């Protein structure tokens, strides 16, 4: 598995890609592409990595991804009790720029697409209200299809309840294939071994660097230290377990690689802004609404 450039193949009679997919699990490739992307998970949850952001994602969380922005949506295959169902729409910048650059009425869309270089996530309720519009894009053909895309982008641009995913200082740097592959090896290793103790030397050896060089390399590429990234990955997995399993908080602490419950709670609160037990209670309340 490598961070790779993804080529989107469109039907020769269509200017952009739009499809509703039902598959066993979300993909395993960390990738980027020229197109902007709208991704709407109807059924399916997991870990979402966008640039230097790593979070647990839920159903009905629409995400708009900018051009060249590395991303990965992944659930644990062994945890999956049902197929995932999602809509993905990809459109090249030149298609939409033909409208937003020439018509001042589309300035809000232009502004939104500029912000989307960091990835944008929309509140679940706002996303759900747009599900019908997004589904129609997949169903329509001809000129109606691109008109529906524009209508949907107009509605999205008027939603104020949205936030960026990647940090403000994150910029896609996908041009050096060797650096991309080295970073991917590290991310793959962390994803596979996050329950175990991971040393800085193990990670630096994967990239054939000294530990000092590796630390600089990883921070430059992700905006985080390797151990910040590891901690956030563990907490993302903990969130997934809290929502999708009946395990106790202490068992989840053990299953995500933390040596002590106090350490787990301290890190969880620093990453999520509340303790693991508070997170569990909050999810139960929201789920019962």
CA 253 → CA 4, 108, 249, 261, distances in Å? 33, 44, 6, 6
pTM over the 0.75 mark: no
**What is the pLDDT at residue 206?**
92
- The single-letter DSSP state of residue 262 is H
Q: How confident is the model at residue 197 (pLDDT cuts 50, 70, 90)?
A: very high
Calculate mean pLDDT across residues 135-163: 94
Tell me if 111 sits within 8 A of 66, measured CB to CB: no
CA 223 → CA 33, 136, 217, 219, 287, distances in Å? 21, 38, 10, 5, 33
Tell me if 16 sits within 8 A of 90, measured CB to CB: yes
Which CATH number does 177-287 carry?
Answer: 1.10.10.60
| Residues of each domain in the chain carrying CATH 2.60.120.280 | 4-164
Say which CATH architecture domain 4-164 belongs to: Sandwich (2.60)
**What is the pLDDT at residue 162?**
94
Phi then psi dihedrals of residue 20, to 5 deg: -100, 130
Strands 36-43 and 63-65: antiparallel
| Residues of each domain in the chain carrying CATH 1.10.10.60 | 177-287
Query: Taking all residues of the chain, what is their mean pLDDT, rounded to a whole number?
Result: 84
Calculate mean pLDDT across residues 198-206: 94
Q: Which two tokens stand for residue 121?
A: 């996530």
């Amino acid at each position: 598995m490598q961070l790779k450039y993804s080529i989107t193949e469109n039907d020769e009679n269509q200017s952009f890609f739009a499809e509703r997919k039902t598959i066993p699990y979300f993909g395993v490739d960390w990738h980027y592409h020229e197109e902007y992307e709208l991704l709407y998970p109807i059924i399916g949850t997991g870990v979402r990595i966008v640039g230097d952001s790593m979070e647990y994602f839920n159903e009905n969380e629409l995400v708009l991804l900018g051009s060249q922005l590395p991303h990965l949506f992944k659930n644990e295959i062994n945890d999956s009790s049902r197929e995932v169902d999602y809509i993905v729409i990809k459109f090249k910048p030149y298609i939409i720029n033909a409208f937003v650059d020439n018509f001042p009425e589309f300035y809000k869309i232009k502004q939104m697409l500029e912000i989307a270089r960091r990835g944008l996530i929309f509140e679940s309720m706002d996303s759900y209200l747009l599900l019908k519009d997004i589904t129609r894009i997949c169903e329509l053909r001809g000129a109606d299809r691109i008109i529906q895309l524009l209508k949907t982008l107009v509605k999205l641009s008027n939603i104020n309840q949205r936030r960026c995913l990647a940090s403000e200082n994150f910029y896609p740097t996908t041009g050096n294939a060797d650096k991309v592959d080295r970073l991917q090896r590290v991310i793959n290793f962390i994803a596979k071994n996050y329950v175990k103790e991971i040393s800085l030397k193990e990670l630096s050896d994967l990239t054939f660097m000294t530990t000092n060089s590796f630390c600089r390399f990883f921070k430059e590429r992700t905006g985080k230290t390797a151990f910040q990234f590891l901690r956030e990955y563990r907490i993302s997995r903990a969130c997934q377990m809290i929502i999708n399993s009946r395990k106790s908080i202490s068992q989840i602490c053990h299953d995500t690689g933390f040596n002590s419950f106090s350490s787990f709670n301290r890190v969880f609160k620093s990453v999520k802004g509340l303790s693991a037990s508070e997170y569990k209670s909050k999810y139960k309340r929201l789920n019962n609404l």
